[in-house]
Amino acid sequence: MRVKIRALLYAWRYVWNLLKETATVTTVRYAILYVSFLLLLGTLGFWWLEDRPLVDALYTTVLILTGVGCANPPRTPSGKLFTIILLAAGLGALVHVISRVFGALLRGDVLLRLKESDALARIERLRDHVIVCGYGREGREIAENLREFGFDVVVVDKDPEKCERAFRRGYLAVQGDVTSERTLEKAGVRRSQAVALVTGSDETNVFACVLIRDLNPDVWIVAAAKSRTGVRTLKRAGADEVVNIYRAAGTAISDLLIEPLSFTVTVRHPLERTKEELLTIVRNGGIVVDVRYHVPSLPEPLKKELWIEDEKDVKSRHELHRETRTRRALERLHELSKDVHSHRIVVRREEDRKRIIEALEEMGILIGVDMTHEEVLKEVFGTEI
């Protein structure tokens, strides 16, 4: 008997959770009130019209509403008429519940909840996974890249369609608001090693960042922002890295625009001639973007960003070279590279490019133009990578 009662309780709890997930809170409350009203109406009706005890009246009402029938049917005409009304009202409630269940099935809500239930069980076993909050264009790209590197990825989004799309792509997904502690707990934020915040809203990202940092102080958080204010706010909220999406896109586009007007020169000279070299480049209309030291034992050159566009920048760089620590580091780099290095240069006009190349040739330091690291090693050092 106890086993049967326990089974019934488990079944009822499952149906209740399913109704809560597939219906809104208002609908659930409405259904509860409606059923309670029918039970109260039937009990009072049979008590008054049939002169039955309250317990017997309640029992009769339950049997009629569930369609089971009863051994002691109504005896009076008013009781029979009342029973017909009660049955019609109960049938309406049944049709309403069935329509909601079928509607949920047609929308895919139930299937989505079943998938999420399986996903939650698998997320419970995950450790050191990465959570991607927001499965828009950026979120999809991030998830794909992470999976290529072998990371376990959990997607969080409040849009059921996006979660369904994530499931179809083979990801574990949790449908819910990223600003909800319950949703983040489902995603296993306390056991994750990194979180990407790309919801498309700076405000949402900030709120979620504060909550995530509180739940897991050691997690690595990278967030996307649409404005400079968003970048600053996310930094204050606890994000380890913040990417300004529009600025990043602008940088990429501007790099493509200036690519035809950029070139690389490979030169060879001692450290003492650095100031002379940089002045020659900027005086002829060039901007020095970086420096790359070619060390024979390395597969890639050692690169450092510079951005020197006028004589003032050259003077500042020369003063920095006088510092003892910087001087020693540069001397070591020149020693390892045998004074061979390259500069990426951007010019505004094609004639500036020609003047810079001619001036470096006159200085006697130019090795070549637009040479790869492999070409430099082979031509200058006679070695291969």
pLDDT one-digit tens code per residue, 271-299 = 999 999 999 999 999 999 999 999 988 88
User: Can you give the pLDDT at residue 382?
Assistant: 86
Give the whole-angstrom CA distance, residue 214 versus residue 217. 6
Verify that 230 and 116 share a domain, yes or no.
yes
Q: What was the pLDDT predicted at 325?
A: 76
Spatial distance between the Cα atoms of 28 and 341, rounded to a whole number of angstroms: 72
Residue 295: which CATH number?
3.30.1340.20
**In this structure, are 176 and 284 located in the same domain?**
no
Residue 343, SS3? Answer: strand
The answer to whether residue 252 is domain-embedded is: no
Count Cα neighbours of 45 within 13 Å in the Cβ-side half-sphere. 24
| Domain shared by 130 and 234, yes or no | yes
CB-CB contact of 158 with 150 (8 Å)? no
Tell which residue, 197, 186, 203, has the closest CA to residue 136.
197
Number of domains in the chain: 3
CA dist 261 and 245 (Å) reads: 25
Is 164 in the same domain as 62?
Answer: no
Domain boundary among 107, 126, 153: 107
pLDDT of 108 reads: 46
Q: What pLDDT, on the 0 to 100 scale, is given for residue 50?
A: 80
Residues lower than pLDDT 50 in the chain: 1, 4-5, 8, 11, 15, 19, 21-26, 104-108
Domain that residue 226 falls in: 111-239
